[in-house]
Chain A
Amino acid sequence: MFVRILALLAFSLSAPAVAQEVVPPPPDVFDSEGGLEVTVTDESAWQDLGIAIPAFATNANVPTPANTQGTGALGAELARVVYNDLRFNGLFKPTGPDSLPRPTYNQITAPAFNQWAGRRAEMLVHGYVRANEDGKLTVGCYLYDVQLQNELVRAGWVVEPSDWRRAAHKCADLVYSRLSGENPFFDSKIAYIAETGPKDARVKRLAIMDSDGANHRFITAGNATALTPRYSPDYKKIVYLSYLDGNPRIFVYDIASGRQQLISQSSNPTFAPRWSPDGKWILYSMAVAGNTDIYRVSAEGGPSTKLTDSPGIDIGGSFSPDGTRIVFESDRSGSQQCYIMNADGSNQRRISFFGGRCATPEWSPRGDLIAFTHIVGDLRVAVMNPNGGGLRYLTNSWQDEAPTWAPNGRIVQFFRTARGSGEASLWQVDLTGRNERRLPTPVGASDPAWGPVLP
């Protein structure tokens, strides 16, 4: 359905394949090998980087199910999606198609560099869209260094018309990765809880959307309160908590069939579901006679294994990217703190000793950091090293909680609750803590869960 074409079909004559191999190395300022500090330092340099993203060209303006006005208008829409992806993450200063001249189809592989240099664009994104005879769309994406008059990278994709936005996200990912040295993340989805109604009778529904808020869909009707969803790594299932039978229980929801099943046949309440990175296991927490411990069960079902056994509340849990360790929260010491254990429950040890309370730890997909909710009166989103050192706040508000990582581990989403009204909204912030923005959702929103880059 979604085929990546490494060598572009359209312009093989005008842009010989050899040209791709003499891509200049990225400027030193984009080198992130030095880790977080370097990234922070580099941010100002990134922000200065002007990127022109004019409308994508088309070989012929023909009808397509992806746009009522044809592939010509679709080309502008594609560029707008790329522009908004790159604009909202604080790394670049892109200029979008609505204030730029549109290149011709032939200029996509032979840009008018002097014209773009005159506009002070340092980087130039060109693209095209072409409707194929079978109804599918071919979308090409090119990144040029205007000063060097050089192509940096290119890629193309054949997509169903309904997936046209994915092609734009793939293009934004291509540009982002080439310029930042980081892994892609735009072509991904988010599950969350949509909230409506007054504070004491709030309706909470499971909902999903693309990483930019598009293709929004409510999954549950709101009859039963839904909380804390997590996408499976293959995006085929969502595990979440529902009060469907009156008690809080974890269900595994199959997106294609709409069917769902309980994760445990026990009559005890279950909370806080989490997938293992390989999708084979689900962690959950279960309260027995008031005492909550963490369990592991195969994603296919079957018996559960109890991983913790303390008289306190042990809850949550997040696997390290290699699946060998789990960070979780426990109040066995008297207050909520973060602990690490091996995936089989052995070698449990506390890692948070910096004061306050440590809650909802989430291991970065890169493995280098753990994001969590730090509670000292207010609730704030923070990160630390997996050994508990290097505490650093990413937010400073009255109540921010439940961080979830972008697939590339460079951005964290969370939800913010307003004092008084209790209105909840989704936010994201990068690791500098400086680029924070609210995500657009149709109604109130909480418990974001960011899935991996789409398969």
Chain B
Amino acid sequence: MRYQLVSTVTVAAALALAGCSKKAPEELPPPPATETPTPPPPAAQGPVPGTQAHFVQVMNGQDTIYFDTDRYNIDSADQVALQQQAQYLAQYPNVRATIEGHADERGTREYNLALGERRANAAKNYLVSLGVSPDRISVVSYGKERPKALGSNEQAWAQNRRAVTIVLN
């Protein structure tokens, strides 16, 4: 019963996303984080190693780090996540990564763009300190334009103050 409901929602979300990308195929920015947060239950044969789907599966949530309001420091939980990311990037030396920086909705639009940029760079700098070549990592800020959690409450804002690593190959 409960499982059925969840899968219906997932299908609806997938349809909505498909509808969106159909409208604007040509010059879309890198895929939004919303396409990645809830990995489907692992299929019989897993995703190809080195792909974004594989990265998401292996990271199991550690592809994203979270920040306090207005902050961009890397705390101990972030360090654990970034260390796992660095290991993955060491294991697959041909993949490149983009780090998307985000802010919650409770700030002005322009400042949040700069804040997201600062957060993504903090994550990048930490990966570089772990030995990942800076040439393999790009950053992009979406400010408050692409929330993951849709509510207007502390819990949602905490989930949206984030830096998400996406691998490209």
Chain A residues engaging chain B, CB cutoff 8 angstroms: 197-204, 221-225, 227-228, 241, 243-248, 269, 271-272, 285, 287, 289-292, 313, 315-316, 329, 331, 335-336, 359-360, 373, 375, 377, 379, 399, 401-402, 417, 419-420, 422, 446-447
Contact = CB atoms under 8 A, between A and B. Distances in A.
Interface string B72-103: 10000000000000000000000000000000
B122 A329 contact: no
Contacts of A375: 106-108
A224 B23 contact: no
A434 B163 CA distance: 41
Interface stretch (B38-46, B49-57, B110-118): B110-118
B114 A224 contact: no
B118 A248 contact: no
Contact of B109 (A202, A331, A401): A401
A271 B24 contact: no
Instruction: Give the most central of B20, B107, B121: most A CB within 10 Å.
Output: B107
A241 B112 CA distance: 14
B118 A203 contact: no
Interface of B: 16-17, 20, 23-30, 32, 34, 70, 72, 105-111, 113-115, 117-118, 120-122, 125, 139-141, 145-148, 150-152
B145 to A, nearest CB: 6
Contact of B122 (A290, A373, A377, A402): A290
Contact of A335 (B24, B26, B70, B151): B70
A446 B84 CA distance: 39
Contact of A329 (B28, B29, B111, B150): B111
Contacts of A201: 16-17, 20, 32, 34, 146
A360 B110 CA distance: 8
Nearest to B110: A272
A203 B20 CA distance: 9
B146 to A, nearest CB: 7
Contacts of A292: 114, 117-118
